[in-house]
Amino acid sequence: MSGIKPIEEIDPYREARDGKIREVGSQAVWSLSSCKPGFGVEQLRDDCLDTYWQSDGPQPHLVNIQFRKKTTIQNVCIYADYKSDESYTPNRISVRTGSHFNDLQEVEVLDFNEPSGWVVIPLKDTHEKPIRTFLVQIAVLSNHQNGRDTHMRQIKIHSPVQDSDLACIKGLCFTSPECARYRCIR
């Protein structure tokens, strides 16, 4: 292999294991624009890549993620599998954020080309810092092969871990995830 680097598989859990980010989706209220019975939020959040949300209605298909307090969001990770889902696979999505449904602003628009695996979407404000928001909306604008309904297998929402002043006390830095959990006073 002359000069060609192997493609690295995206692992959305690596930075969480390293203590740099944390998954905050469990702190939110999730809702969908539509779903087939048995293919809803539970399947979208069950950590199983074999299950999925399936929409049931006209596009755009929406995933709404509402937080009780303003939350810093570093990225959104979506697992899509074109080989399994074909025309159900999203082709174009929009990620929007805001305080409520009436002030949503589009942050990213992405075109997917037969995705197979995790897609990481960084969310940054105008100062290139992670976005602080109450609401994240993921809108599926179109599917591959002009498909009508959508399959999404998993969505993860990551927030950066804030270093506290007590993280390093006189040269003692807590770097393992086990110790880092206890480095701040609550």
Report pLDDT for 8. Answer: 47
Q: Quick: pLDDT tens for 47-85.
A: 999 999 999 999 999 999 999 999 999 999 999 999 999
Q: Quick: pLDDT tens for 88-140.
A: 999 999 999 999 999 999 999 999 999 999 999 999 999 999 999 999 999 99
The DSSP-derived string for 3-61 is SPPPPPPP-TTHHHHTTSEEE-GGGEEEEES---TT-SHHHHTSS-TT--EE--SSSSE
Report pLDDT for 10. Answer: 73
Torsion angle, alpha carbons of 172, 177, 180, 181, to 10 = -150
Task: Please state, in angstroms and rounded to a whole number, the distance separating the CA atoms of residues 185 and 103.
Answer: 35
Yes or no: say if 32 and 41 are a contact pair by the CB < 8 Å rule: yes
Q: Quick: pLDDT tens for 2-44.
A: 343 333 467 777 888 888 899 999 999 999 999 999 999 999 9
3-class SS at 133? strand
Task: Please state, in angstroms and rounded to a whole number, the distance separating the CA atoms of residues 152 and 8.
Answer: 22
Domains by residue range for the chain, with CATH: 12-181 (2.60.120.260)
Q: Quick: pLDDT tens for 138-181.
A: 999 999 999 999 999 999 999 999 754 444 454 556 566 666 66
Rounded (5°) CA angle 50-52-54: 145
- Provide the 10 A C-beta neighbour count for residue 64: 18
Report pLDDT for 14. Answer: 82
Does the pTM surpass 0.75? The reply is yes
Report pLDDT for 2. Answer: 39
- Provide the 10 A C-beta neighbour count for residue 83: 9
Burial of 156 per CB tally in 10 Å (0-12, 13-18, 19+): buried
DSSP state at residue 162: P
